[in-house]
Amino acid sequence: MRVILLAPPGAGKGTQGERIASRYDVPHISSGDLFRQEVASGSELGNELRRYVESGDLVPDNLVVQLIADRVIEAAAESGGYVLDGFPRTLPQAEAAAEIAKTTNATAQAALHLDAPREVLIKRLAGRGENRADDSEDVVRHRLEVYDASTKPLIDYYASRGILMHVDASLSMDDVSKEIFRVLDPIRDSEPEG
């Protein structure tokens, strides 16, 4: 199973990404987790990422691709699949991901668009209680604006490729998972064995 998750902050990408990865036995590759790990490491790249993460701005495409490309290639080679959570977030990243996929013969089978009304997203993010630097209300609102400007064009991109699927992320976590599995299971079941 090869899935790309497209969702605004607060739509539940992380939770659903883990559930998809577990159900289909593929790696869950979260750009946000990778960024936070790199920042925590104190590396030169981590220090560069820190200011983007803390302000809620998108990390530049070249840094994102640099950090994630090898993990996608490795996941495709080892398990034949992946769940990409938070990557790609821009059209140039999507085009880079498509090139990576061509070289690994592991193009995405589905781009899941998890969406919910703005007020639901803000309430969820403000109530996470994780005290993350990117969860203050001002940063949350900014992250949603950045998503609208940079990530929404990907919806048209994946729709034009015929792999876009919409899921209502305002439902309970379990109901969102059920809906995701309802649309992904037929893709898995249509894959030839071996």
Which listed residue (13, 19, 36, 124) is catalytic? 13
Is residue 161 flagged as an active site residue? no
Stated pTM of the model: 0.85
What is the pLDDT, as a whole number, of residue 94? 92
166 belongs to a structural domain: yes
117 belongs to a structural domain: yes
With bands split at pLDDT 50, 70 and 90, how would you rate the model's confidence at 6?
very high
88 belongs to a structural domain: yes
The total of structural domains in the chain comes to 1
What is the pLDDT, as a whole number, of residue 131? 53
Averaged confidence pLDDT in the chain: 88
Strand order in the sheet with 164-168: 28-30, 82-85, 2-6, 110-115, 164-168
Domain residue limits at 131? 2-186
Which listed residue (23, 71, 132, 188) is catalytic? 132
Which listed residue (2, 19, 124, 143) is catalytic? 143
192 belongs to a structural domain: no
177 belongs to a structural domain: yes
**In the predicted model, what is the mean pLDDT of residues 190-194?**
63
47 belongs to a structural domain: yes
pLDDT digits (tens, 9 = 90+) for 126-157: 776 555 555 577 777 888 888 888 887 899 99
Is residue 132 flagged as an active site residue? yes
63 belongs to a structural domain: yes
* 72: CB partners within 8 A, 6+ apart: 29, 82, 84, 87, 97, 100, 101, 104, 106
112 belongs to a structural domain: yes
pLDDT digits (tens, 9 = 90+) for 9-54: 889 999 999 999 999 999 999 988 898 899 999 999 899 888 888 8
Which CATH number goes with the domain that contains 126? 3.40.50.300
More confident residue, 138 or 113: 113
Is residue 143 flagged as an active site residue? yes
How many Å apart are CA 194 and CA 186, to the nearest integer? Answer: 17
How many Å apart are CA 75 and CA 98, to the nearest integer? Answer: 15
